[in-house]
């Protein structure tokens, strides 16, 4: 860009030891709904990570010795401040990520606020264990202490939502953190840094280093003074992180991809099931790890389901994310859009039928969005189970619908992928719902609903979808070390 052009760009800085610091080099960040570069993100590496880890280490003794109540009050203050600026955060998230302003206003930012409030509260209610051994004259009890400097790495699909889901429990437990958001969606993390001092978060407790996974992310993963890494992202990156951290035997929490099935039995209430399954397939452009991408429908209702499902999917409007009537915004990048489109092409080449969306229906965009990364909600039928469209995570507005006959058969087919994150079961038979939920290889099973979460309970995946769980108790256990202490009297 020319000088005049670059002046108009938003330039982010790292946040280290309570101060914003410029970086020696930067990377471009695009507005997905226009295709324009609008922001420059620090291209941090070892040096910046080193400074951030040092600041976090220095802040640890004071922060870790504060009472849970003191920390709780600070988290609540920060929650209030983000909530106060909710609209500005929502606008920024929508512009940076391509998601609709409605989704950012109603899901992303409210949840970021709630993450801080939730852990501000839950940190006050943990109890440790105690056992007695009267014949030995002993009592044993457990004690939990923060671990140290936590490395937090988050993806681009729910930027502030997922980053705060890690920062909140980490600091509530008394750790200090170095966070690295996705290089594609860094703006809301940077905005949050501006609030930390006023909220009472001491310098060095939360440090944010911006940059790519290969440089900044790996420097964090390889740093000997960062004993734990909480990562949300793709399975491939998780493998790399596992290898790189092995030298230090780091504690890892890995929240990864999914290939989530919806199983729809012939006794399902279709008036609830169809709109919810359209939402579970296309919400946030299908860029949620929990989105449905394989829909198994019992043969007796297959034709009716398909007809009504396509009708409903066609009602979802794709376009300018800042228009509050739009349901589907822009995909994160040009490369990602290309990848998602290629899956549709592959399905067609294999003989599957594309019933609506990509390549079938016209996509009309406003003049300002012609270069944006848009795609219509796409429904594919008659796809073979072994097709890459039924096996790999597509992470876009594409869903596959296939028929099944028996309960036994559908459980086997639903489990026949490498992932095991979330599944949905639709039936009015309570016995069947329990049976099927029990046998699905999936960390989360929603029956007759989708995305209803109680943050108290474990969240995470089986198989290639992850290691570990997050939630009130699970995150507390991950972000603390436990000791067993024996007292002889």
Contact residues toward ligand NAD (CB under 6 A) are: 153-157, 162, 180, 182-183, 212-214, 217-218, 221, 232-234, 237, 240-241, 255-258, 289, 393, 395, 421, 461, 466
The 3-state DSSP class for residue 207 equals strand
Contacts of 380 (CB under 8 A, 6+ apart): 344, 347, 352, 353, 354, 355, 389, 398, 399, 400, 401
Quick one: 212 or 441, whose CB is closer to ligand NAD? 212
98 vs 258, beta carbon nearer ligand NAD: 258
Task: Name which of 105 and 259 has its Cβ closer to ligand NAD.
Answer: 259
Select 46 or 314, whichever has its Cβ closest to ligand NAD.
Answer: 46
Least separation in angstroms between residue 474's CB and ligand NAD is 13
User: Residue for token digits 């440089």?
Assistant: 215
Cβ closest to ligand NAD, residue 41 vs residue 263? 41
Smallest distance from ligand NAD to CB 344, Å = 18
DSSP of 381-392: ES--TTSHHHHS
Backbone angles phi, psi at 220, to 5 degrees: -70, -45
* Residue count of the chain: 489
Quote the CA–CA distance of 28 and 42 in Å, as a whole number. Answer: 9
CB of 155: closest distance to ligand NAD in angstroms? Answer: 3
Minimum separation from the CB atom of position 350 to ligand NAD (A): 23
CB of 190 to ligand NAD, least distance (A): 14
Which residue's Cβ has the minimum distance to ligand NAD? 213
DSSP letters, 281-346, are HHGGGG-STT-EEEEEEEHHHHHHHHHHHHHHHHTSPBS-TTSTT-SB---S-HHHHHHHHHHHHH
Q: Which is nearer to ligand NAD, 256 or 313 (CB)?
A: 256
Which among 93, 255, 358, 470 is annotated as catalytic?
Answer: 255
- Cβ–Cβ < 8 Å for 460, 466: yes
Residue whose CB is less far from ligand NAD, 222 or 270: 222
Q: What does the DSSP assignment read for 90-156?
A: HHHHHHHH---HHHIIIIIHHHHHHHHHHHHHHGGG----EEEEGGGTEEEEEEEEE-SEEEEE--S
**Would you call 255 a catalytic residue per the annotation?**
yes
CA distance 153 to 230: 6
Does residue 322 come out as left (phi exceeding 0), alpha (psi in the -120 to 50 range) or beta?
alpha
What proportions of the chain, in percent to the nearest 5, are helix, strand and coil? Answer: 45, 25, 35
Q: How far is the CB of 351 from ligand NAD (least distance, A)?
A: 27
Give the shortest CB-211-to-ligand NAD separation in angstroms: 8
Residues marked active site are found at: 255
């Amino acid at each position: 860009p020319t000088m005049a052009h670059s002046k108009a760009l938003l330039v982010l800085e790292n946040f280290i030891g309570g101060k914003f610091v410029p970086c020696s080099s930067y990377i471009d960040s695009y507005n997905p709904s226009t295709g324009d570069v609008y922001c420059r993100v620090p291209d941090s590496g070892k040096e910046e990570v080193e400074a951030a880890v040092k600041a976090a280490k220095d802040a640890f003794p004071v922060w870790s010795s504060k009472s849970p109540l003191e920390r709780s009050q600070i988290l609540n203050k920060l929650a209030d401040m983000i909530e106060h600026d909710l609209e500005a955060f929502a606008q920024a998230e929508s512009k940076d990520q391509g998601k609709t302003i409605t989704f950012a206003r109603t899901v992303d930012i409210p949840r970021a606020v709630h993450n801080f409030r939730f852990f501000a509260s839950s940190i006050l209610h943990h109890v440790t264990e105690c056992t007695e051994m009267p014949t030995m004259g002993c009592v044993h009890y457990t004690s939990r202490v923060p671990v140290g400097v936590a490395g937090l790495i988050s993806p681009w699909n729910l930027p502030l939502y997922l980053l705060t889901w890690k920062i909140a429990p980490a600091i509530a437990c008394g750790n200090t953190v170095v966070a690295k958001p996705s290089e594609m969606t860094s703006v809301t993390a940077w905005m949050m840094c501006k609030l930390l001092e006023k909220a009472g978060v001491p310098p060095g407790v939360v440090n944010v280093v911006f940059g790519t996974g290969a440089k900044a992310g790996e420097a964090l993963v390889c740093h000997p003074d960062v004993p734990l890494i909480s990562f949300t992202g793709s399975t491939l990156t998780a493998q790399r992180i596992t290898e790189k951290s092995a030298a230090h035997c780091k504690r890892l929490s890995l929240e990864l991809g999914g290939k989530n099935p919806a199983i729809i039995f012939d006794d399902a209430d279709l008036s609830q099931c169809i709109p919810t399954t359209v939402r579970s397939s296309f919400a946030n452009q299908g860029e949620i790890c929990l989105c449905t991408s394989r829909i198994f429908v019992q043969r007796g209702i297959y034709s009716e389901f398909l007809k009504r499902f396509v009708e409903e999917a066609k009602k979802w409007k794709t376009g300018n994310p800042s228009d509050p009537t739009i349901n589907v915004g822009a995909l994160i990048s040009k490369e990602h859009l290309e990848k998602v489109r290629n899956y549709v092409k592959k399905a067609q080449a294999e003989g599957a039928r594309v019933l609506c969306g990509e390549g079938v229906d016209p996509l009309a965009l406003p003049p300002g969005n012609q270069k944006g990364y848009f795609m219509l909600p796409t429904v594919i039928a008659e796809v073979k189970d072994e097709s890459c469209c039924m096996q790999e995570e597509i992470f876009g507005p594409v869903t596959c619908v296939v028929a099944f006959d028996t309960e036994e058969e559908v459980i086997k087919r639903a489990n026949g992928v490498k992932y095991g994150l979330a599944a949905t079961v639709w039936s009015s038979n309570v016995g069947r719902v329990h049976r099927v939920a029990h046998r699905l290889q999936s960390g989360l099973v929603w029956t007759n609903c989708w995305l209803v979460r109680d943050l108290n309970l474990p969240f995470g995946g089986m198989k290639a979808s992850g290691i570990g769980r997050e939630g009130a108790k699970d995150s507390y256990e991950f972000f603390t070390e436990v000791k067993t202490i024996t007292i002889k009297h």
